[in-house]
Amino acid sequence: MKEVLARAEEKMNKTVNALVNEYGAIRAGRANPAVLDKIMVEYYGSPTPINGLAAISVPEARTLMIQPWDKTCLKAIEKAILTSDVGINPQNDGSCLRLIFPPLTEERRKELVKGVDKYGEEAKIAIRSIRRDAMEKLKEMKKKSELTEDDLKNAEKKIQDLTDRFCKEIDGIAAKKSKEIMEI
């Protein structure tokens, strides 16, 4: 019973961490190096993340600066950013790239908030799915007489409490990200 609860909690934690990573990649009008995390650059025949090829800094609130350690890969990084879904054209000055994030329009902010809400809902669905799987395992254990009726009820209550706690945490994270996006 304890391992079922522990496994469910671990999976729920992973779901919340995945949501936080997803939110990190959402551009909120401010420069955030996390928007580059999913972009891979073709470097000597193998896909490499940008942060493995260059130093990424935020010199101003809406500017990202990418300084490659090997200047020969500057064009490859620029190409990878252009073909990605970041939606910003990098400015190449020969030694580094600058990404200047335009201020978001009200309409775009509302679209982003809808996306935040959608990701939050998907995470809560994943949490409830984990709860369902754990409940099925516990009922299976009860059938095999590995658990008593009282143990089953107790474990179901603990799993429900876990589910409620993680759903509340997801709501809080989503609300914080929505507030950040709507700030001007």
Question: Quick check: 22 pLDDT over 80?
Answer: yes
Give the C-alpha distances (Å, rounded to integers) separating 169 from 86, 124, 125, 174. 28, 10, 14, 9
Categorize the per-residue pLDDT at 169 as very low, low, confident or very high, splitting at 50, 70 and 90: very high
Band of residue 184 on the pLDDT scale cut at 50, 70, 90: low
Look at the domain 33-100 and name its fold.
Gyrase A; domain 2 (3.30.1360)
User: Could you tell me the residue ranges of all domains in the chain?
Assistant: 2-24+105-182, 33-100
Band of pLDDT at residue 87, cut at 50, 70 and 90: confident
Our measurement of the distance from residue 165's CA atom to the centroid of its chain's CA atoms, rounded to an integer in Å, reads 19
Whole-prediction pTM value? 0.70
Span 116-164, pLDDT tens digits: 999 999 999 999 999 999 999 999 988 988 888 898 899 999 999 999 9
Whether CATH 1.20.810.10 fits 2-24+105-182? no
pLDDT of residue 28: 66
Residue 60 confidence (pLDDT): 86
